[in-house]
Structure 1
Amino acid sequence: MEKKQLAKHYPAPHFDVIIEPFAGSAAYSLYKNNWEKKIILIEKDEKVYKIWKWLIEEATTDDINKLPDLKIGDKTSEFLHIVHAATKMAFHFKTIKVTPVLARNWEISKRVFASNLYKVKHWKIICGDYSDAPDIEATWFIDPPYKGPSGMGYRHSSAKLDYNRLAHWTHQRKGEVIFCEGECADYLPFRPLADLKGTPQND
């Protein structure tokens, strides 16, 4: 939710191609009319990649509408459900109990998926490291796991990321760079962007 709320603070893309080297939920590419651009997502987490690949290449609105609702108290091992648990540590869970929050988040997401599916059908998704992104002129929306504790929950967490290497790679990008980070970031000259519910965000 934070990224959706912050999207309005980021500049509009100045290039016809948007590349998100850490795809995640692709909140920037989905914001307003950004989705109409040529969108290239890169995602290292294979499970997240497979969700995007299914949405882009295979899923229909009917497919999404037919996905079953979650019942509070049940258990699920489906990753698409688990990532709605409102905790980054969910990436490490194999099975999770359905809470009221999870059930509600899933209900909302199904409606969002169905109503926005047409927007992503021309997108491209690549499974790989951020450095596997095509070296072309574009609007680069770079949103890695944040340096420090806030980026530790993911399978490919901040502990596994060489931030100096990422900074060097970022300087080599062609076009426009929008880079998101948290308050612990010190490897690029970030400046505060917004204070969202007490959590400062830098760009």
Structure 2
Amino acid sequence: MFYYYGRKKQIARHYPAPNYGCIIEPFAGSAAYSFHNDNWRKQVILIEKDVRVSAIWEWLINEATPNTIKKMPDLHPGEKSSEFLHIIHAATKMAFKYKTIKVTPVLARNWEISKRVMAENLGKVKHWQIICGDYTSAPDIEATWFIDPPYRFEPGMGYGHSSARMDYEQLAKWCMARHGEIICCEGENGNYLPFVTLLELKGIAGKSSKEKLFYRSPYGARQLELIT
């Protein structure tokens, strides 16, 4: 729905489709999985610990209209902004550290695209629910759980709450206690659940990174695509 560091927009299609009528994202961010394809039609419950990100969802779900979004000012390279919604569009893992940011051509373009996407798709999220709190604030119900925490052993600078503050053993126990199906995302260093490689992503300067997945469903094993 909007730009967010680490969002799953480009790879959402590789994750298993939800088998339940409710999707819960305990680390919501921009909720790319719930927004993907027709997933948005289901009951969607977002949990977001960062109060600023949660406030964006509160605004989109309960207040914003397509017209108010379209009327939001464009950004122009060289000017400065202290609006958090602008800052997270800067395509940088340092976004959460900035109080004010200078608008670059990338930021201006990202904001232009997001304004259009939000205005055109706002109706898709009006039935969603947002809860401001950590992952344990999620309702204990049967659902498709899309769990995308800050990746273990990675700096986590792109988030308001980094991996350094996460108890991953406790998270693993909590994940396994969920009812329904679990789709848990991790990076190549994730080791608190039996993750398997889902994708190998090519980065800049020839670098690559692995996206890993833990998947448990009462509907049986799925053939997950492995891209190398």
TM-score by length of 1: 0.97
Contact 1:76 1:82 in 2 (8 A): yes
Match of 1:137 among 133, 142, 151: 142
Distance in 1 (alpha carbons) for counterparts of 2:38 and 2:193: 29
Q: Which residue of 2 aligns with 1:102?
A: 107
User: In the alignment, does 2:178 pair up with 1:168?
Assistant: no
User: In the alignment, does 2:30 pair up with 1:25?
Assistant: yes
Q: Which residue of 2 aligns with 1:180?
A: 185
Q: Which residue of 1 aligns with 2:223?
A: none
Q: Which residue of 1 aligns with 2:70?
A: 65
Number of matched pairs = 203
- Worse-matched range after superposition: 149-158 or 76-85: 149-158
Q: Which residue of 2 aligns with 1:37?
A: 42
RMSD: 1.0
Aligned pairs for 1:77-156 (under 5 A) are 77-156=82-161
Q: Which residue of 2 aligns with 1:12?
A: 17
Contact 1:152 1:159 in 2 (8 A): no
Q: Which amino acid aligns with 1:43?
A: E
Distance in 1 (alpha carbons) for counterparts of 2:155 and 2:97: 15
Distance in 1 (alpha carbons) for counterparts of 2:131 and 2:47: 5
Percent of aligned positions with the same letter in both sequences? 67
Contact 1:192 1:201 in 2 (8 A): yes
Distance in 2 (alpha carbons) for counterparts of 1:12 and 1:135: 21
Q: Secondary structure at the match of 2:89?
A: coil
User: In the alignment, does 2:209 pair up with 1:199?
Assistant: yes
Contact 1:7 1:27 in 2 (8 A): yes
Distance in 2 (alpha carbons) for counterparts of 1:172 and 1:127: 21
Distance in 2 (alpha carbons) for counterparts of 1:159 and 1:152: 10
- More helix per residue: 1 or 2? 1
Contact 1:16 1:38 in 2 (8 A): yes
Shift of 1:196: 2.1
Deviation sequence 1:90-126 (CA, Å, 0-9, x none): 0110000000100010001101111110000000000
Distance in 1 (alpha carbons) for counterparts of 2:18 and 2:66: 28
Shift of 1:150: 4.8
Contact 2:96 2:157 in 1 (8 A): no
Q: Which amino acid aligns with 2:200?
A: D
Distance in 2 (alpha carbons) for counterparts of 1:88 and 1:160: 17
In structure 2, list runs of 5 or more residues that go unmatched. Answer: 203-207, 214-228
